[in-house]
């Protein structure tokens, strides 16, 4: 099971990383906080202080087409905000 799917790279998360040393990841919905902590520590070689998780429900979407109104939902996902220990950081742009 792949626990960490991708990092969340947004302007809001960049500010949170700079101020509070936190990073966010989209994770597997079945993963718990202990598994997320171990995966981040193993993958990036940092010390994790705290993990907060939240589950986002998919948004309802609809669009108008020649065949009528099509409605559906976007996929739901789980997001984890990981607080790193003092002095640790993760640089996602080091390979560019």
| CATH fold label, 4-84 | Alpha-Beta Plaits (3.30.70)
65-94: per-residue pLDDT in tens?
999 999 999 999 999 999 999 999 888 877
The pTM for the full model equals 0.85
For 28-93, where are the E strands, in sequence order? 48-56, 60-65, 68-73, 77-84
CA gap 22, 92 in Å, rounded: 13
Task: Please say whether the beta carbons of 40 and 7 come within 8 A.
Answer: no
Other beta carbons within 10 angstroms of residue 8's beta carbon come to 15
Boundaries of every domain in the chain: 4-84
Q: What percent of the chain has pLDDT over 70?
A: 97
């Amino acid at each position: 099971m792949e626990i960490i799917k991708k990092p969340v790279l947004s302007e809001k998360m960049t500010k949170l990383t700079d101020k509070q040393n936190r990073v966010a990841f989209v994770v597997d919905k079945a993963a718990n906080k202990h598994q997320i902590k171990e995966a981040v520590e193993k993958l990036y070689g940092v010390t994790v202080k705290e993990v907060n998780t939240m589950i986002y429900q998919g948004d309802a979407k609809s669009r108008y087409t020649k065949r009528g109104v099509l409605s559906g939902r976007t996929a739901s996902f789980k997001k984890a905000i990981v607080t790193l220990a003092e002095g640790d950081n993760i640089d996602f742009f080091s390979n560019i």
